[in-house]
Amino acid sequence: MLSIENVKSAYGRIEVLHGVTLYVGVGEIVTLIGANGAGKTTLMRAISGVQPITDGSIRFKSVPIEQQPAHARVASGISQVPEGRQVFEPLSVKDNLKLGAWRRRDGDLEQDLARVCALFPMLEAIWEMPAGALSGGQQQMLAIGRALMAKPQLLLLDEPSMGLAPNLVDHVLSVIRALKNDSLTILLVEQNARAALSIADRAYVMETGKVTLSGAAAEIQADHRVREAYLGI
Amino acid sequence: MAELLQFVFSGLTVGAIYALVALGFTLIYKASDIINFAQGEFVMLGGMTTVFVTLAGVSLPLAALIAIIVTTAIGLALHRFAIEPARGASPVALIMITIGASIFLRGVAQIIFDRRFHSLPSLFGGDPIKFGGAAILPQSLVVLASAMVIVTLLWLFIDRTLLGKAVIATAANRLAARLIGVDTRRIVDFSFAVSAAIGAIAGVLITPIALTSYDVGTLLALKGFAAAMLGGIGSALGAVVGGLLIGLFEAFAAGYLSSNYKDAVAFLIILVVLVSIPQGLFGRAKIERV
Ligand SMILES: Nc1ncnc2c1ncn2[C@@H]1O[C@H](COP(=O)(O)OP(=O)(O)OP(=O)(O)O)[C@@H](O)[C@H]1O
Ligand SMILES: [Mg+2]
């Protein structure tokens, strides 16, 4: 579904992705783990088209998309839940969700709003509240719901468990599993490697702008380097 | 008392125009973080184009419509051909571009139109209406009513339409707006077009009261900017209140001190705001995201 080859990206003159290669197959949950500053967010932004790349190619459903503007990538089925949630603070929960469907021209928002509410029942009680007034957990649910409103085929999740209470982390994980069962393809970036590996099919480990390890999630979980560096065992 | 009332009326009338200019600043600033110093030229173009199109024999309402459309197109072109190619440049550089555009538009207006002062007939004649000892020009009422209509329409648009919400979303968080598929460049296009149209309408409205010429934009931009600063830059409510307040301050300064001081009011307010309340009356202190 998504195939990234030798992608390089820089902030100004400082290159932070030194040629990243990874792929995500249809219906998979792939997780990308790595320490602070490894370049995970930069890669996610490059996939969505909000971070320019200097080299390499990004293919989505076999189509090269690296030249496409961000809005075209959303229209073709890539949706991202960005790091730090990034909800539209002045707008209500409802409006945040409606805007999630901005690129869609097919109707029936009501049904999709209902679907998001079914996934995150807690949103219904705060339907008219401005997103800026929500708790971190509520904002994270909203950010995921907003991304789902675009009806994506590929969902990019950048640290969805960051700053969440443990029970909410579990809830988010169960939602991700449910989405996979709904045949959504997911690329999940996580600091919480244990959680990510527990639900992923495959995993990549990234260090300072390069993929250093990849394989089935179970293999990665068993790898002694990963156990030391990311699982604290 | 009659005198006070007179000052209040004339203050509110010009204040409504400043408010419209300030709204133009606000809209573009919200969508793009750019302070567009060519905003005053939109007002000039609205007035001057109407004047010259009527001179060519076209009726006033049609001429006004043409002027608004032409100015809107110029606003759009300003963004497309001057601002957009420089995207990624620092905000200061972009502001310099708008100052350049303002000088350019003034120069072109001087060539295409002329260097004289012009006026337009007012919609409902020039006989003042007596009210509590004060004399109100019918055009003043037209200005106030039109400004109210524009502010209301703008508010309805922003508050009630999904496109309006996309503008707010872009203003609030550009990265997230792009990630949900908003073409933020289009949103900025749109903000330039609407700001230009509002400016042009202000120009059509004010010309029967204050004369227009190729260079009226400079002072209007300054005052509109002062209004936006006073209200808190980025706040639409602030723009309206700021505009009306500056109009009132000016009218009082001109009436009770001397009309020589009128134009100094805006400068003074910019200074006072910068020093004492940089976030303005309705603005929030800008939070820089890390
Ligand atoms: N806007 C920016 N300007 C300059 N450098 C940046 C910017 N954003 C990130 N970087 C740098 O790029 C590198 C990769 O950052 P990135 O945010 O992609 O890492 P990350 O793996 O997502 O980290 P984290 O786990 O902390 O989210 C880091 O060295 C970071 O300092
Ligand atoms: Mg990150």
Contact B137, B130 (CB under 8 A): no
Chain A residues in contact with B176 (beta carbon < 8 A): 82, 86-88
- Please tell me the predicted confidence (pLDDT) of residue B290: 35
What is the reported pLDDT for B284? 67
Residue A113 CA to ligand 2 center (angstroms) comes to 28
Task: Please name the residue of chain A whose CA is at the shortest distance from the CA of residue B162.
Answer: A99
Q: CA-CA distance, A134 to A139, in Å (whole number)?
A: 6
Quote the CA–CA distance of B72 and B192 in Å, as a whole number: 8
Residue length, chain A? 233
- For this complex, say whether ipTM is above 0.90: yes
Q: Is the pLDDT of residue B123 over 90?
A: no
Share of chain B above pLDDT 70, in %: 98
* pLDDT confidence band for A194 (50 / 70 / 90): confident
Distance CA B261, CA A148 (A): 59
Q: Which atom of ligand 1 is nearest to the CA of A11?
A: 4
Chain mean pLDDT for chain B = 90
Report how far residue B189's alpha carbon sits from residue B196's, in angstroms, rounded to the nearest whole number. 11
Write the residue in A91, A102, A146 that is nearest to B168 by C-beta.
Answer: A91
Please tell me the pTM assigned to this model. Answer: 0.88
Beta carbons within 8 Å of A156's beta carbon, 6+ residues apart: A44, A47, A48, A78, A79, A80, A81, A186, A187, A189
Task: Flag if A50 and B175 touch (Cβ within 8 Å).
Answer: yes
- Is the pLDDT confidence value at B216 over 80? yes
State how far the alpha carbon of A211 is from the alpha carbons of A22, A34, A39, B117, in Å: 8, 9, 10, 69
Q: How far is residue A175's CA from residue B10's CA, in Å, rounded to a whole number?
A: 62
Report d(CA B29, CA A224) in Å as an integer. 53
Sketch out chain B's domains with CATH numbers: 2-276 (1.10.3470)
- pLDDT computed for residue B289 by the predictor: 38
CB contacts of B183 in chain A (<8 Å) are 69, 71
Name the closest-CA residue to atom 29, ligand 1. A37
Residue A155 pLDDT exceeds 60: yes
Ligand 1 site residues, Cβ closer than 6 angstroms: A 11, 16, 34, 36-42, 83, 191
Probe target for ligand 1 pocket from A20, A32, A40, A159, with the most ligand atoms within 8 Å of CB = A40
Tell me what pLDDT residue B261 has: 79
Question: Which pLDDT score, from 0 to 100, does residue A152 have?
Answer: 94
- Both tokens of residue B107? 């120069």
pLDDT at B281 > cutoff 50: yes
Residues B56 and B58: their CA atoms lie apart, in Å, by 6
* Nearest-CB residue to B162 (from A79, A98, A147): A98
Cβ contacts of A49 on chain B, cutoff 8 Å? 178
Q: From the centroid of its chain, how far is CA A67?
A: 21
The yes-or-no verdict on residue B278 having pLDDT over 50 is yes
DSSP tag of B22: H
Q: Strands, DSSP E only, in B67-109?
A: none
- The stretch B101-122 carries a mean pLDDT of 91
**Residue with token string 């390499």:** A56
Average pLDDT over residues A86-92: 94
Residue whose C-alpha is closest to residue B146's, from B285, B245, B20: B20
- Among A18, A31, A42, the mutation site with the greatest number of ligand 1 atoms within 8 A of its Cβ is A42
Q: Residue B131: phi, psi to the nearest 5?
A: -150, 115
Q: Which residue of B lies nearest to A103 if distances are taken between CA atoms?
A: B181
Asked if B201 contacts B72 with a C-beta cutoff of 8 angstroms, the reply is no
Taking one residue from A and the other from B, the number of pairs with CB-CB distance under 8 angstroms is 66
Q: Cα(B168)–Cα(B31) distance, rounded to whole angstroms?
A: 8
A192: closest CA of chain B, how far (Å): 22
pLDDT band at residue B134 under the 50/70/90 scheme: confident
CA of residue B29 to ligand 1 center, whole Å: 28
Structural domains of chain A ordered from first start: 1-77+154-233 (3.40.50.300), 85-151 (no CATH)
B182 to chain A: which residues are within 8 Å by CB?
71, 99, 102
